[in-house]
């Protein structure tokens, strides 16, 4: 087994169950604020920093130079945040199948666990708390070998909120955990931008699960180091490196 020091996981659709609830929140927020879109377009942007989705959609509809552009973006984004936070505060929040088994195996093998996401910090913290994954994390969202995860990173902690496909959240997780070699890091998500982020960060492997927001047929169009039917398959991939 190769010396893997860190696995960086996406959250919704990868380690946290998502039955299109995030897409639903996007669609409802768009519809209620006069933004024209559809589920296919929203799904193509899953994994992005959430505000960027509304910036992109409003730019397409009215142009970013429109004097009402910023107000429109903020209105849609604010409505989305209300819907999303209410969902995660009131509805069941569960890990994906095999996630906790994989986390336990990684911990036993001294491989650190990082979570990154397109979510902003407030809703990320709601999810971490609901799952109990915030236990042992300090004020910088860094844990220990005894905590369930060792670090959490959101676009809020990146300059200009630049999320995926930029490599910065992965690199931030490495920095916080003192890991210098990206070839000792595996990245896994469920969207095209997850795959691109792992490649941009020069990770040893950039992988995706096909039971999240995108199908195998959709994901195989993008450069990748492997597509998994389920998260638990990562265990055998690491064993056989």
pLDDT in tens, 62-118: 999 999 999 999 999 999 999 999 999 999 999 999 999 999 999 999 999 999 999
The DSSP H or E segment spanning 185 is: strand 185-189
Chain Cα centroid distance, residue 49: 9
Distance in angstroms (rounded) separating the CA atoms of residues 203 and 188:
10
What's the pLDDT score for residue 43?
A: 85
Three-state SS letters, 2-13: CCCCEEEECCEC
| pLDDT 10s digits, 163-216 | 899 999 999 999 999 999 999 999 999 999 999 999 999 999 999 999 998 999
Q: How many CB atoms lie within 10 A of CB 106?
A: 22
| pLDDT 10s digits, 42-61 | 988 888 888 999 999 999 99
In which band, very low, low, confident or very high, does the pLDDT at 39 lie, cut at 50, 70 and 90?
confident
DSSP state of 208: E
Does residue 141 have a pLDDT over 80? yes
Cis, peptide link before residue 162, omega less than 30° from 0: no
């Amino acid at each position: 087994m190769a010396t893997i020091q860190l696995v960086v996981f996406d959250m919704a659709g990868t380690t946290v169950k998502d039955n299109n609830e995030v897409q639903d929140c996007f669609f409802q927020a768009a519809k209620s604020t006069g933004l024209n879109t559809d589920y296919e377009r929203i799904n193509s942007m899953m994994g992005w920093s959430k505000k960027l989705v509304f910036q992109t959609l409003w730019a397409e509809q009215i142009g970013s130079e429109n004097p009402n552009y910023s107000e429109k973006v903020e209105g849609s984004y604010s409505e989305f945040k209300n819907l999303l936070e209410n969902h995660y505060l009131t509805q069941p929040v569960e890990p994906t199948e095999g996630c906790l088994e994989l986390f336990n195996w990684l911990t036993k093998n001294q491989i650190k666990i990082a979570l990154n996401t397109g979510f902003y910090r407030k809703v990320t913290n709601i999810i971490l708390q609901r799952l109990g994954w915030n236990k042992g994390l300090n004020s910088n969202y860094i844990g220990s070998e005894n905590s369930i995860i060792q670090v959490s990173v959101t676009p809020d902690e990146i300059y200009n909120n630049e999320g995926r496909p930029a490599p910065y959240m992965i690199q931030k997780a490495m920095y916080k955990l003192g890991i210098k070699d990206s070839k000792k890091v595996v990245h896994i998500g469920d969207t095209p931008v997850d795959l691109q982020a792992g490649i941009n960060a020069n990770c040893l492997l950039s992988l995706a699960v096909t039971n999240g927001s995108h199908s195998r047929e959709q994901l195989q169009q993008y450069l990748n180091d492997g597509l998994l039917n389920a998260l638990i398959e990562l265990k055998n991939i690491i064993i056989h490196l």
